[in-house]
Structure 1
Amino acid sequence: MTEDDRRWPDPHATDTVRRFLRRHRRAVDTILTSARLDGLDELADAAAEYAAAPEGPCTPEGAAVAFAIAQHAAVAYRTGARREREFIDRFVDSWMIEHGHDFVTAVAEARRGVRVEEPDPRAGRMTPWLRLAAADEDGSAADEALIRRVRDRLAVVAESGEEGTSHIVTEPKSITTDQIRRFEAAMVDGRRWRVAAHRRLVLEDPALGQLARRLVWARFDGHGAVVGTFRIEADRSLVDVGGTLVELPGEALIGIVHPIHLGDSVDAWRNSFGDTGLRQPFEQLTRPIYRFTPEESESTVLHRFTDRQVRTDRLFALQELGWEVTREALYRRLTPTREVTVTLDPGLEGGYRYEPERQRILSVELRGGTFGILDAVTASELILQLERPAA
């Protein structure tokens, strides 16, 4: 067993899996359509349900079929044993976090029973297709790769004597800049954890538990609305802004709350953290909040930035926030169909040494709708990210 097997599950694994399945949605839909034509409607529906929401209610069979299709669709992206292992681990980590270890074992077993086959024009198969493996059929290399990884990863749990993962990593951890960035990204992107997964992956981690204590958290309903807010005490108990103990049901969704969701309670939370003496690792309670004007909400152009001067070095820093930097413009994809473009003058030459000190913003435009269709957090963060280089 390697040290890699003993690591904690990646708390962002589900986000990675979700993005991957969206990227290969056409391949998934094509194979599931073929499966329905072959009478495998129930299996296809289960796989479609998992592909749409890997963190939601689903069956091991559905996850196994979606994973098998993912293995087939992404073969060009995996070269070598290490890349194959990393690919599988993203799914295994997500299954552990969202559904538990029994679910992981069930998926590995279900994976034995499905095959994704190449097109066979002579048999009338013009696209990849799904079939059920025969009872006496030997396992394929693809499903055996998953089974081996699951066996290695869950062996650690068996050594600890319990399902929890608190013994996977025993050495103390220190807080890193990357961990802080990930928590800030979780607040901005709306990352949610189930209560058990949050306790296992965050509260019981020596470093992440320290970070968690210095932030305000919230319980969210299925529509993303805040049900209640709380902070975390040193003993891992949860208390509201007034210090009253908070109990959460096991199926609750929790996340780092964005200040735009706190409303009038933000001042009370600031006072609460002032009393504890805890410093926040990034701007949460003091984070600037922005909103579109009515005119901006109905437009595809954000005129407030037109002709603004921005420091060139700060534009390159936007790459850490997901922006793509090209010669003439900056791009930020918000959804598969919506993208923001920031057009610049005189443009970028390819390196700090050769760049002018300042750029002029010619326009900020949204493709895929008007700015009013963006949710409040996305809108506020978009304006904040562009305001800072222009300061």
Structure 2
Amino acid sequence: MDDATYGYRAGFIVEGMDRLVERIRETEAEGEAKYTRPIPPPVTPVPAVGTSPEAALEWLDRRLDRDGFGGFFCYIYDSWFTGVTWQPEPLALILWEKTVPLLALSGVRHDQTAAMVVRFGERALPGLVAIVAAEPEDKLPHVLKVDAAALTPIAARAFHRTKRARPAAVAWLRAHPRTAALRLLPDALGAPGPERDAADAALRFLASEPAGRAAFDAAVAAYAAIDPRVPEAVVSGVDSDPLDQVPVKPPKLPPWLVPAALPRPVLLAGGTLPNAAITAFCEMLAFSSPLTPYAGIAPVRAACTPESLDAFALAVFQSWLAAGANVAGEWAMRTLALIGGDACARDLTRQIRAWGQAGLKPRGKAGIAVLAGIGSDAALMNLSALAEKNPLLQLREAARDAIADAAETRGLDAVELADRLSPDLGLDARGGLDLSFGTRHFRVGLDETLRPWLRNADGQRLPALPRATKTDDPELAKQAAKLWAGLKKDAEDAGRLQISRLETMLATGRRIGPDVFQPFFAGHPLIRHLAGRLVWGLYEDRLATTAPRVAFRLAEDLTATDAEDAALDLDLAALDGVVGLVHPLHLTPDTLAAWTALFADYEIAQPFPQLAREIYAFTPAEAAASATDRFDGVRVAGRRLRGLRSQGWSSDTASEHVCSVQRPTPLGGADLFAVLRFEDGLWHRSGPEGDEVQALRALTLTETGWGASTAHRFGDLDPVTASEILRTPSLLAATGGE
């Protein structure tokens, strides 16, 4: 690889154990010379010339372990770890078992795992087990052929505790049912604790499938030959009725939770849960997890109204927060995934943002996992909002991972999932909502930014929902006020997200099929308010260079009309082609003028610039190059560089501190990026650092994200892509640093 482009060093190989002392001394000296920060000295002196290989290896073992590996000096040995599979035998095994530095520095490629197992057999197992335990989601799929009892607890824990690692754990358990059953049975019959819970869950899964059942029964018989009490213990444990699989001692409810003070779940058959049942329900929730919920929770969910369970879960969660949100009570947050709904999703999202502001990464990640567990459209919408905007990079990445998991489950990518998850916010088929005070009635609609508005029965626009009067039904008025308040909050969040999503669609030229456009855009109760204010095109294909075969807008009755407001004979559910937002560059000047006049005549405000979108082009000199300094030195407020995602740009990197934004720019079969650099950089986390004025630097077309492309030029881009790439820095430059 090109070192100048990637900053990559090939693995360093010690030629033989007789050269170990020499190479250690060279590496330590190189570190002292290379880094400006001082390298922490070892506890014992660097091996002198003439030291035996065995003594030098012991010294290196201490240096990479007990000397506190993980400080800055660790990077002087990174190339040793990169070449671990080719090192002399004793050195390779020492390095292989240094899990923390091995993963932190070079990572462990899947070919390295196979190479170490082939080369060393069982001697590679301790290091392999430690590596898989550290990263089960990534590493378990690549050890499916390794039949080792030591991997079994890792697979069981992954199955029991980690949603993302569960598919790999299932695959490993199915591949090695006999090994798994023999190794897990003692844990499942052992003392209560996390290991027993994981073993119990994994064995119950194995016993539910024919091959696993046979292996499980064989393991029981094998242990019964040693201890006749094993079969009886199994009947009362793994093979017991799911409703009987409860802790020996039910968890003691914390002082901050008073079951009788919680809102009572309402029974579908009428009435509410009594106090004793509420207390028992709280105990069930306390020892359950969203991944392996106690069997008794499902009957309660089936018997109660979803709205009342949502309120109940929210009250438990808020009680925990009010008491300080200690770790021991984190089950209160997991309760939201077990029985919560949209109200819980909204409240949890606000709390995750607060945790992000406070820098509480572990708590924020746990909250994102729970939000994903709620799984409703509103929960996934809020996950999408967190993925777009959150003070901490790690929380944004966690939210994106959760969305990717949800998309994979449905056989979609994250963008396709987002198309299908726009919330309807309780709006009716006409995209509005009727509110009733009994004697008075109001109609809710939404404007071009999805802000709700109100009209009374006479059609008069109201500034706010009126207060209830003596002639109104108090319960209906209270219900209407609650609906109105919730809609305003949800519409505000949805508006930012959905408008950004549609502008990204325009900026990137993304096209969708009619099976997506009609139900999730044109006919969607919420998105129709935005879709009807934009010009759409029917295209032959998904290529950015293809102009629309026909352009249309959606009338109030969802029929398609042209620039003259004439109806078009288009069946939106069975269009021949794909649909996308029309870029002005795909319209002739006369057609663009006709559309602009039509929208002006009807006073249709667009949610973002489409017909009036600014157009830019590279100069001939720029078109012949892959980098331009057109914007070099332009001063821009740092806060403006944070909000470019709607224009197709991303500032996410592996670091909290970033000095560039980039935009995917596919060209033929090449995956290119347009990269805009700036100084002095900004932080993803909240705070004043980075919000001060930044200086723009080069705009570059690149394959790698770093060096300018040598194979492609700006002139290779289609006019729409070129215009969109230039539009962002041009608009930034126009702000003048404000």
The normalised TM-score by structure 2 is 0.30
CA separation of 1:138/1:269 partners in 2, compared to 1, >3 Å: closer, same or farther?
farther
**Pick aligned residue for 2:619 from 286, 293, 317:** 293
Q: Does 1:221 pair with 2:221?
A: no
**Pick aligned residue for 1:332 from 663, 674, 695:** 663
Contact 2:500 2:645 in 1 (8 A): no
CA separation of 1:370/1:139 partners in 2, compared to 1, >3 Å: closer, same or farther?
farther
Q: State the 1:262 CA deviation.
A: 1.7
**Pick aligned residue for 1:254 from 564, 579, 582:** 579
Q: Distance in 2 between matches of 1:343 and 1:208?
A: 35
Q: Distance in 2 between matches of 1:83 and 1:266?
A: 48
Q: Distance in 1 between matches of 2:618 and 2:724?
A: 11
SS of 2:675's equivalent in the other structure is: strand
Q: Does 1:311 pair with 2:633?
A: no
Q: Does 1:193 pair with 2:512?
A: yes
SS of 2:499's equivalent in the other structure is: helix
Contact 1:324 1:331 in 2 (8 A): yes
* One-letter amino acid of the structure 2 residue matched with residue 250 of structure 1: L
Q: Distance in 1 between matches of 2:611 and 2:519?
A: 26
Other-structure match for 1:107: none
Q: Which runs of 5+ in 2 are unaligned?
A: 1-109, 111-140, 145-154, 167-173, 176-208, 213-405, 411-419, 432-445, 451-494, 703-708
Q: Distance in 1 between matches of 2:713 and 2:729?
A: 18
CA separation of 1:258/1:353 partners in 2, compared to 1, >3 Å: closer, same or farther?
same
Q: State the 1:237 CA deviation.
A: 0.9
Q: State the 1:267 CA deviation.
A: 1.3
Q: State the 1:381 CA deviation.
A: 1.3
Other-structure match for 1:179: 498
Q: State the 1:195 CA deviation.
A: 2.7
Contact 1:311 1:357 in 2 (8 A): yes
RMSD: 4.0
Q: State the 1:270 CA deviation.
A: 0.7
Contact 1:310 1:361 in 2 (8 A): yes
Contact 1:221 1:253 in 2 (8 A): yes
CA deviation string 1:291-324 (max 9, x = no partner): 1122111111123212222222212223564322
Other-structure match for 2:675: 341
**Pick aligned residue for 1:240 from 556, 562, 568:** 562
Larger radius of gyration, structure 1 or 2?
A: 2
CA deviation string 1:271-293 (max 9, x = no partner): 00111122111111111011112
* One-letter amino acid of the structure 2 residue matched with residue 184 of structure 1: E
Q: Does 1:365 pair with 2:690?
A: no
Contact 2:623 2:714 in 1 (8 A): yes
Relative contact order, higher structure (CA 8 A, sep 6+): 1
* One-letter amino acid of the structure 2 residue matched with residue 345 of structure 1: E
Q: Distance in 2 between matches of 1:203 and 1:257?
A: 15
**Pick aligned residue for 1:205 from 516, 524, 527:** 524
CA separation of 1:207/1:349 partners in 2, compared to 1, >3 Å: closer, same or farther?
closer
CA separation of 1:190/1:350 partners in 2, compared to 1, >3 Å: closer, same or farther?
closer
CA deviation string 1:185-225 (max 9, x = no partner): 12222222333432122222111112111111111112532
- Identity percentage over the alignment? 28
Q: Distance in 2 between matches of 1:230 and 1:345?
A: 43
* One-letter amino acid of the structure 2 residue matched with residue 198 of structure 1: F
Q: Distance in 2 between matches of 1:183 and 1:219?
A: 16
Other-structure match for 1:376: 719
CA deviation string 1:255-280 (max 9, x = no partner): 11112212311111110011112211
Give the stretch that moved more between structures: 211-220 or 320-329: 320-329
Q: Distance in 2 between matches of 1:328 and 1:350?
A: 11
Contact 1:238 1:247 in 2 (8 A): yes
Contact 2:661 2:677 in 1 (8 A): yes
Other-structure match for 2:588: 263
Q: Distance in 2 between matches of 1:256 and 1:209?
A: 14
CA separation of 1:340/1:243 partners in 2, compared to 1, >3 Å: closer, same or farther?
closer
SS of 2:521's equivalent in the other structure is: helix
Number of residues paired by the alignment?
251
Other-structure match for 1:386: 729
Q: State the 1:359 CA deviation.
A: 2.2
* One-letter amino acid of the structure 2 residue matched with residue 330 of structure 1: V
Give the stretch that moved more between structures: 279-288 or 329-338: 329-338
SS of 2:665's equivalent in the other structure is: strand
The normalised TM-score by structure 1 is 0.55
Q: Distance in 2 between matches of 1:237 and 1:204?
A: 10
Q: How does 1:14-33 map to 2 (within 5 A)?
A: none
Other-structure match for 1:18: none
SS of 1:272's equivalent in the other structure is: helix
Give the stretch that moved more between structures: 235-244 or 303-312: 303-312
Q: Distance in 1 between matches of 2:535 and 2:499?
A: 14
Q: Does 1:281 pair with 2:607?
A: yes
Q: Distance in 1 between matches of 2:567 and 2:211?
A: 52
CA separation of 1:315/1:235 partners in 2, compared to 1, >3 Å: closer, same or farther?
same
Q: Distance in 1 between matches of 2:632 and 2:611?
A: 29
CA separation of 1:178/1:139 partners in 2, compared to 1, >3 Å: closer, same or farther?
farther
Q: State the 1:169 CA deviation.
A: 6.5
Contact 1:296 1:303 in 2 (8 A): no
Q: How does 1:84-233 map to 2 (within 5 A)?
A: 171-172=426-427, 175=450, 176-222=495-541, 223=543, 224-233=546-555
